[in-house]
Amino acid sequence: MDAWVRFSAQSQARERLCRAAQYACSLLGHALQRHGASPELQKQIRQLEGHLSLGRKLLRLGNSADALESAKRAVHLSDVVLRFCITVSHLNRALYFACDNVLWAGKSGLAPRVDQEKWAQRSFRYYLFSLIMNLSRDAYEIRLLMEQESSACSRRLKGSGGGVPGGSETGGLGGPGTPGGGLPQLALKLRLQVLLLARVLRGHPPLLLDVVRNACDLFIPLDKLGLWRCGPGIVGLCGLLSSILSILTLIYPWLRLKP
């Protein structure tokens, strides 16, 4: 209960709840359309989705300043790759929120002459760049953790006097000159890498959650920009899943990837 009270007190919490409801409406509207629901009911769901989208834009007013402040803090990170990925991501988020504010002004009637289609395309373009940077940062952190885990395993094997599984160092699976030996060895290496990746992600829940959330969000701008048409059902499902994961990071701050 205390976690929920803290969650409700945060300004981001209302926006995340609206986002989850918006994409739930998108998913529901797609399901109703496929099952032949009445046009009136479909229209009501689309109107509710539009109202939730407009409400989210209102709640995000001023988020550009927060993103710029986050970018200023990221500039001082010691790791060059993390500094670049996180800073560029926050800068793109700031531009995305700025475009979103213009869209809100147009849809609310404050600026009726705004070309909403053009500004929507711009906002999704910046959103896509931000997600690409987030996923690049995730991939970099995964690589570092996999290297650390691999080194730790090697030290444990040397300390216990054991060898490398499968005798890969001694050519137990057949060297390059052995007929058919290269493919099984490659398959074993791939399997070991997959197991290592699973161990790293299982041991670092914030990183796993961030990867899944960013991967789900990626489908949204790809669809809106026409780069990869996923359909409203996939967009609604991915948006709902990423919204739920974002809500979890607010309720349980230890699940948020840092820095």
Mean pLDDT of the chain: 88
What pLDDT is attached to residue 158? 81
Mean pLDDT for 208-219 is 97
What pLDDT is attached to residue 184? 85
Residue with tokens 């395993």: 153
Mean pLDDT for 134-142 is 97
Look at residue 30 and tell me whether its pLDDT is greater than 50: yes
Dihedral pair phi/psi, residue 94, rounded to 5°: -60, -45
* Amino acid occupying residue 4: W
Look at residue 4 and tell me whether its pLDDT is greater than 80: no
Q: What is the pLDDT of residues 149-208, one digit of tens each?
A: 888 888 887 877 655 444 444 344 444 444 455 788 888 889 989 999 999 999 999 999
What pLDDT is attached to residue 162? 55
As a whole number of angstroms, the distance between CA 115 and CA 229 comes to 23
Q: Where does the chain have alpha helices with state H?
A: 2-9, 11-34, 39-59, 63-74, 80-107, 116-160, 182-203, 205-224, 232-251
Put residue 79 in one of left, alpha, beta given phi > 0 → left and psi -120 to 50 → alpha: beta
Look at residue 55 and tell me whether its pLDDT is greater than 80: yes
Q: What is the pLDDT of residues 234-250, one digit of tens each?
A: 999 999 999 999 999 98
Task: Kindly state the percentage of the chain with pLDDT values over 90.
Answer: 68
Are the C-beta atoms of residues 173 and 185 closer than 8 Å to each other?
yes
What pLDDT is attached to residue 140? 97
Enter the pTM of the model.
Answer: 0.86
Dihedral pair phi/psi, residue 11, rounded to 5°: -65, -35
Among 33, 94, 194, which Cα is nearest to 86's? 94
